[in-house]
Amino acid sequence: MSNMEVLYEIKSLNAAGIDWSNVQEYLNLESFFEMAKACDGTNTIHSLHFMGWARFVYGTDLVDYPNEFDMIKRIAHEEDEAYQLIKHKRPYLRQDYLVSI
């Protein structure tokens, strides 16, 4: 059975709702919407979850407040560990930016 056959079989069930969890975070949007439309019944309500949203919404984490960098360093006990903590939450930050904080 091909992927499209599975999607059309799901569509034939005419589901009241489909919870996609966070599948869309692992696909490009075009592919995700294609898949969702292929499963869509006449009254299907789709829901999804964005697990990494806090990385993109300013103010949801301590690392969003540069004046708190010293507190992060105290918590981590070492500047390199603090940088890794921040880099994990904000992978687009450069180390030279953090040094200037």
pLDDT tens string 36-85: 999 999 999 999 988 877 777 877 776 677 666 666 666 665 556 656 66
List C-alpha distances in Å: 26 to 20, 22, 30, 36, 51: 11, 8, 12, 14, 11
Please check the confidence at residue 20 and state whether its pLDDT lies above 90. Answer: yes
Structure-derived torsion over alpha carbons of residues 24, 25, 28, 32, reported in degrees to the nearest 10: -10
Please check the confidence at residue 32 and state whether its pLDDT lies above 70. Answer: yes
Please check the confidence at residue 95 and state whether its pLDDT lies above 70. Answer: no
In this structure, what are the phi and psi dihedrals at residue 47, rounded to the nearest 5 degrees? -135, 150
- Per-domain residue ranges of the chain: 3-47, 54-99
The residue among 77 and 34 whose pLDDT is bigger is 34
Residue 73 near residue 62, CB atoms below 8 Å: no
